[in-house]
């Protein structure tokens, strides 16, 4: 778990929008608060492995699709580098 200045990128917002869920609905699905989802989307808070897996399950995506390291040259599975958060 880390906060602030994290190097971990994420495409949670994209996948959430794709799934047609609001932050509140996703928060309810993974049993956290809406502000936690908001903080994860904005890169303020890096979730635990458990929460990342729950997010993946709720959005029908793998953890690698949701989270990535921006500097290692590896883009998230199946997604273009451009527009990465």
Partner 1 sequence: MTAFERLARRRQWLLLGAAAGFTAWQAAFLFPKARPGFATLLSLPGFALFFVSFGAMWFWAKAASDGGVGDSLEDEMTRHNRLLALAAGFWAMLSIGALLLAAAPFVPVDASQAARLVLIGGVAVPLVRFAMLERLVDDGE
64 is written with which tokens?
């690698």
* Euclidean distance between the first and the last CA atom of the chain, given in angstroms as a whole number: 19
| 33 contacts partner 1 (rule: CB under 8 A) | yes
- Identified binder of partner 1 from the candidate list 44, 53, 63, 79, rule CB under 8 A: 44
Note the maximum CA span of the chain: 33
Cβ atoms within 10 Å of 84's Cβ, excluding its own: 14
- Identified binder of partner 1 from the candidate list 7, 18, 35, 81, rule CB under 8 A: 35
50 is written with which tokens?
């458990």
- Identified binder of partner 1 from the candidate list 11, 12, 14, 47, rule CB under 8 A: 47
Binding-site ranges for partner 1 (CB under 8 A): 1, 3, 27, 31-36, 38-39, 42, 44-45, 47-48, 51
């Amino acid at each position: 778990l880390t906060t602030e200045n994290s190097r971990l990128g994420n495409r949670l917002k994209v996948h959430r929008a794709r799934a047609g869920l609001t932050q509140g609905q996703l928060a309810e699905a993974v049993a956290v608060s809406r502000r936690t989802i908001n903080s994860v989307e904005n890169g303020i808070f890096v979730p635990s492995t458990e929460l990342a897996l729950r997010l993946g399950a709720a959005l029908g995506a793998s953890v690698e699709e949701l989270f990535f390291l921006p500097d290692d040259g590896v883009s998230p599975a199946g997604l273009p580098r451009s527009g990465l958060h």
